[in-house]
Amino acid sequence: MKNTLIILKPDAVERGLIGEVLTRFERRGLKIIAGEVRTISEDVAKQHYAEHAQRPFFGELVEFITRSPSFVAVLEGPADTWRIVRSMMGTTNPAESTPGTIRGDYGLELAENLIHGSDGPEAAAREITLFFPQIS
Ligand code: IDP
Ligand code: MG
C-alpha cells in the first residue's frame, strides 16, 4: 500500500505544529498527496475509532478528536508507507516514546499524543476512503 492516512490531532494543531510535523515526513521522502484542516464530526470520529468503541476511554477519545480542527492528510511513499509513518510517530504513550519520534519529541500525555497513523494496509484503505473518498 503506497498511501496512508495521518491525522494531526487537535492538540498538534492548537500548538501550531502542523508545519514541523509535515516537514519531517517530507524530509524523509514521503509525499503529501492530499491534506486539509478539518474539524472531525462526531459521526466520522466514531466510525474512524470504531475498533475502540468498547474501551473505557472511547468517549474521551471522541470528545478530544472533535474539539477543534485537525489536519488530515494522505501520504504517499514507495511501499508500506503506513509502516514508515508508524515508526516515525513513536509508541502510543508519548511518555514512553523514543526521542526522535514525533510523540517522543513533542508529547507527554497518553490521550493528547499529537498524531494518528493507519496501522496496516486495510486500515489505510478504509481510512483514506472515510476521509478522502475522492482519492481512493
Ligand atoms: P495508536 O494511536 O498508537 O494506534 P490506539 O491504541 O489505537 O493507539 O489508541 C487510539 C488513540 O486513543 C490513541 O492514539 C490515544 O489518543 C487514545 N488512547 C489510547 N489509550 C488511551 C487511554 O488509555 N486513555 C485515553 N486515551 C487513550
Ligand atoms: Mg490505533
What cell does 49 get? 475509532
Active site residue 116: yes
Q: Which atom of ligand 1 is nearest to the CA of 64?
A: 16
What's the confidence (pLDDT) of residue 136?
A: 67
What's the confidence (pLDDT) of residue 1?
A: 74
Ligand 2 mean position to 119 CA, how many Å? 6
Per-residue model confidence as pLDDT tens for the chain (136 residues): 799 999 999 999 999 999 999 999 999 999 999 999 999 999 999 999 999 999 999 999 999 999 999 999 999 999 999 999 999 999 999 999 999 999 999 999 999 999 999 999 999 999 999 999 998 6
Ligand 1 contact via 119 beta carbon (within 6 Å): yes
How would you list the strands of the sheet with 115-117, edge to edge? 31-38, 70-76, 3-8, 115-117
pTM over 0.95: yes
